[in-house]
Amino acid sequence: MRILPFLLITVMLASLYWASPPPITLSVGDLKVEIDARSGALKVVRRGAPIQELGFGVWTTGWSNFKHQSWLKARVETGEGEVRVVGEAGNLAKYNYTVKVEGESIVLEGEVEVLSPGMVEAVAWGSWGLDVHNYAGAELLVLEWNGTRSVKLPPSFRSDEIVYSEASYGVAVGGVAFFTLNELAVSVDDERAWGGSAYSFKYWVYRKWNKATSSRFKIVIQPYDGPDELEKALSAVKFLFVLTQPEELRPLYDRLMLSFLERRYGEISDLALEGLRSYLKELPRPGHGFLRVEGHNIVGEDGRKVVLRGVNYIGMEFGWLKHREEHFALVASWGLNVVRLPFGWAYLEPEPGVIDKAYLALIIRNVALAKKHGLYVVLDLHQWKWSPKFKGCGLPDWASPDAPDERTASVLFFKNESKWELVARIWRILAEIFRDEPCIAAYDLFNEPMPNDDLIPRGEFAKLTARFYEYVAEKIREIDPNHIVMYMPPWGSDVKHVFSIDVPNSVLTGHFYAGGTWDGVTGYEHITKEELVEALEEWVEAAERLSVALWMGEFGVGSQAYRAIDWARDVVEAMDKYVLGWAYWCLWLRDVGYALLYFNGTPKEIAKVLERPHVESYTSEVTYFHFNEDDRTFELRVVVKRGVEEVTLRTPPNYYHLVLTDDVGGSSSCSLNISKGLLTIYVRGEPGAVVTIKARDP
C-alpha cells in the first residue's frame, strides 16, 4: 500500500516534466497573441476562433519534404517588453525574430537565413491553423495595392491553390490584419490536400531563384473593425512601402511608422507627400537644367544640345512596384542619362475623380531615385491592350468605352472629345507637382494609340490623335509652361503616318521594333542589317520633312530571341550614326523576354550592348558618331562654328581610359570627370571646318 503514493508522485513529476510550459502572452485591447514557449510559433485570438500555427515553413528542393516551426524546438527568451525567438529547421534554414507590443500593434520582426540554398525550395511565414470547422465559408481578405481581394474559404475540399497574389501587403481574417511592408507573394491553400484539417495563408519570404539567401521581414498585427478602417490601414501601409527607400527618407519613415503602429492613419498621406516633394526638390539639379526644344534638337539651360539615352524602367503601369534604387544606379553606371517611367492611369485614378495618393507618392519617389543618380525622367502615360477588361493595362475600365476589343475601344475613346479632358486632368495633376522640376525631361502624353482600320482609315485616325495631343498639351501648358511634351503616331511605330502637332516645345517619339521584335520572341530572322538601317532612316527622314525633333522612346528585342544581341547592337550603331536619343525596352527582372535583368537581378549579356560610351551633349553639331565594341575605339565628326567646340561623352567605368588617337583638322584635347563618368573633348578648328575625332582604349 505504501507504493501507491510513491507511484502517484512519480507520475505527477513526470507529467510536469513533459507538459508544455505555458505560452507567453502579449495583448493589445481585445487582440491577444500567444507565443509557444518551446517553438516560438504564434496563436492569435480576437473575439472569434483562433488563428493558429503562425510560424515558418521550409520545403526542400522539389517540394519533397516539409518542416514547420511548430514541430521544432527553438530558443524562446523574454526580455524588456519583447520576446525573442531563435530557431533552426535542421541544416536548411534558421530564423531569429522578436515579438513585441508597439503602440496599438503587435510587431514580429527579424531575419530568416537559408543555410543550404541547394537543398531549399522555399521558405514561408504564415498560418497553417485556420481550422476548417471554424473557418469554412469565412471571408479572408488578401490586401493588394488596388484594394482588398475577397476570398471565401471553401467548405468543400480544394486540391489547387485557393488564391495566389504575386504582390501583397497583408492578409486579414477574423477581424485581425497581418500587414507586411515587404510586398511579398501570398498564397491561400487548403491543407486538407496534405492530410490536415485547416486552411493556410503564407507569405513567401524565400524562393530558390532568390539571389540573397537571407531576408529581413516585418509583420505588423493589428485589429480592425470593418472595411473602412482596414482600407485606411492599407493606404498607410502603401505609403510606408514607398518610403522604404532611399535611405535619406528613413527619419520620415520612422516617424510615420510610429503613427501607423498607433493606428493614427489619417495623418500619414499628407506628411508622406510633403516629405517626398521636399526631398525631390533638395536633390542636386541635373547638369543641363531644364530641357527645351530648339529646331531638331533638345537643348539644356546651358545652351548645349543634349542626347537622351536610357531605358524604360517598367512596372508601374501594370502593378509591379518593386523599383529599386540600385537599378537606377545601374542605369547611370552604363553611361546612360535618362529613364522613361511608364505609369498606369488605372492605378493613379482607380475610380472617377479618386486619386490614389500613395501611387502618386510612388511616382514622385521613383523620379527622385532617378534624379539622385543624375538621370533625367520621361513620364509616360502608358497603355498596353488598353485596360484590364481587355487583359491589358493602362486605362481604368471606368474610362474605357464599351467595346468588343481594345482596338475598337481605342478608336471610340479618341473619337469622344469628352474623354480627352479625362487624360488632360491626369496630366494637370502631375504638372502641378513637377512643373518646377528640372529632372523631368518630358511628358510622354499617351502611349501607342491603337488604330482600327475597319472603323476609321489610318490617316484620319492619325489626324484625330494629333488633335488629341494638341488638346492635352494645351491644358498642361496652363499649369506648366516649362516641360517638353512628346507625341507619337499610331502604334507608336507607324512611320508612314507620322505627323507634327501645333505645340511649341514638343518632340516626335517613335517606337522601333524592326523585323517584328515587338512580340518579345522574334529576333533577327526576318530582316537584314541593311533593311534595319533603312527602317530607321525612314524615321530620320520623316522628322526632317516635318522639321521636328525626334526621340526613339522604345526599341527592344527578347533576350532569348534569334541573334538578339546582334539586333540590339545594330540598332544602337544605326542610331549612333544619326546621334539619336533613345530608351531601350526594357529594364525589368525576368529570365526571358525583353528584360535586361534576370529574375535574381543579374544583368543579361544583352545589357552590355548599352554599356558603352554615348554622346551626351555638345555645343555645335555632331554629324556622325560610331563606337566599335570589338576594338573599343570611337569616331565622331564635329562641325566647328566658334573655333573651339565641346563634345561630352558619358562613359562607363571600364571606358575611363579612352584617349584621343587622331585629330583631323585641328589640335584637340580632352578631359575626364571620373566622378560623373563624363569625357569632354575640346575640338579646335577653323570656323566651318568638319573635324574628325578618333579615340581608343590604350
Rounded-to-integer distance, Cα 168 and Cα 125, Å: 13
Residue 385, Cβ neighbours under 10 Å: how many? 17
Boundary-marking domain end, from 240, 266, 292: 266
CA-based max dimension of the chain: 123
Backbone region of residue 47 per phi and psi (left: phi > 0; alpha: psi in -120 to 50; beta: other values): left
One domain for residues 179 and 318: no
> How much is the pLDDT for 547?
97
Q: What percent of the chain has pLDDT over 90?
A: 84
> How much is the pLDDT for 48?
76
Unique residue bearing C-alpha cell 517611367: 341
> How much is the pLDDT for 81?
86
* Confidence check: pLDDT of 99 > 50: yes
Q: What percent of the chain has pLDDT over 70?
A: 94
One domain for residues 244 and 357: no
Q: Is residue 653 part of a domain?
A: yes
One domain for residues 505 and 580: yes
Q: Is residue 363 part of a domain?
A: yes
- The end-to-end CA distance of the chain, in Å, is 102
Q: Is residue 35 part of a domain?
A: yes
2 confidence band (pLDDT: 50, 70, 90): very low
Q: Average pLDDT in the 522-536 region?
A: 98
Q: Is residue 271 part of a domain?
A: no
692 confidence band (pLDDT: 50, 70, 90): confident
One domain for residues 248 and 309: no
Give the pLDDT confidence of 292-310 residue by residue, as tens digits.
Answer: 999 999 999 999 999 999 9
CATH number of the domain at 293, please: 3.20.20.80
One domain for residues 530 and 628: no
> How much is the pLDDT for 47?
84
User: How many C-alpha atoms does 528 have within 13 Å on its Cβ side?
Assistant: 3
User: How many C-alpha atoms does 358 have within 13 Å on its Cβ side?
Assistant: 25
- The number of angstroms, rounded, from the C-alpha of 54 to the middle of its chain's C-alpha atoms is 30
Residue 662, Cβ neighbours under 10 Å: how many? 12
Those residues whose C-beta lies under 8 Å from the C-beta of residue 304, and which sit 6 or more positions away, are 288, 617, 618, 619, 646, 648
Rounded-to-integer distance, Cα 152 and Cα 154, Å: 6
Q: Is residue 10 part of a domain?
A: no
Rounded-to-integer distance, Cα 40 and Cα 99, Å: 10
One domain for residues 238 and 288: no
Give the pLDDT confidence of 38-52 residue by residue, as tens digits.
Answer: 999 999 999 878 999
One domain for residues 200 and 296: no
Closest by Cα among 660, 571, 655 to 609: 571
Give the pLDDT confidence of 223-282 residue by residue, as tens digits.
Answer: 999 999 999 999 999 999 999 999 999 999 999 999 999 999 999 999 999 999 999 999
Highest average pLDDT, of 158-162, 513-517, 658-662, comes from 513-517
- Residue 522 belongs to domain spanning: 283-551+571-584
In 3-state terms, what secondary structure has residue 467?
helix
Give the pLDDT confidence of 418-427 residue by residue, as tens digits.
Answer: 999 999 999 9
Beta strands in 468-564 (DSSP E): 484-487, 506-512, 549-555
How many distinct structural domains can be found in the chain? 3
Sign of CA dihedral 209, 211, 214, 218: negative
Least confident of 178-187, 268-277, 430-439: 178-187
One domain for residues 47 and 103: yes
> How much is the pLDDT for 336?
96
Rounded-to-integer distance, Cα 210 and Cα 113, Å: 12
Q: Is residue 535 part of a domain?
A: yes
Q: Is residue 546 part of a domain?
A: yes
One domain for residues 298 and 230: no
> How much is the pLDDT for 363?
98
> How much is the pLDDT for 382?
98
Closest by Cα among 579, 578, 610, 604 to 589: 604
One domain for residues 256 and 392: no
Hey, what amino acid is at 218? K
Burial class (CB in 10 A: 0-12, 13-18, 19+), 73: exposed
CATH number of the domain at 123, please: 2.70.98.10
Unique residue bearing C-alpha cell 494645351: 474
DSSP state of 561: S
Boundary-marking domain end, from 233, 266, 299: 266
One domain for residues 228 and 184: yes
Q: Is residue 273 part of a domain?
A: no
Burial class (CB in 10 A: 0-12, 13-18, 19+), 406: buried
> How much is the pLDDT for 1?
39
Q: Average pLDDT in the 678-697 region?
A: 83
> How much is the pLDDT for 8?
35
683 confidence band (pLDDT: 50, 70, 90): confident
Host H or E run for residue 260: helix 250-261
Contact 130/162 with Cβ under 8 angstroms? Answer: no
> How much is the pLDDT for 18?
44
Give the pLDDT confidence of 113-150 residue by residue, as tens digits.
Answer: 999 999 999 999 999 999 999 999 999 999 999 999 99
Mean pLDDT of the chain: 93
Q: What is the pTM of this model?
A: 0.94
Closest by Cα among 330, 464, 320, 312 to 379: 312
Give the pLDDT confidence of 620-668 residue by residue, as tens digits.
Answer: 999 999 998 888 888 899 999 988 899 999 988 877 676 666 554 456 6
One domain for residues 371 and 475: yes
Q: Write the DSSP string, 304-317.
A: -EE--EEEEE--TT
Those residues whose C-beta lies under 8 Å from the C-beta of residue 478, and which sit 6 or more positions away, are 428
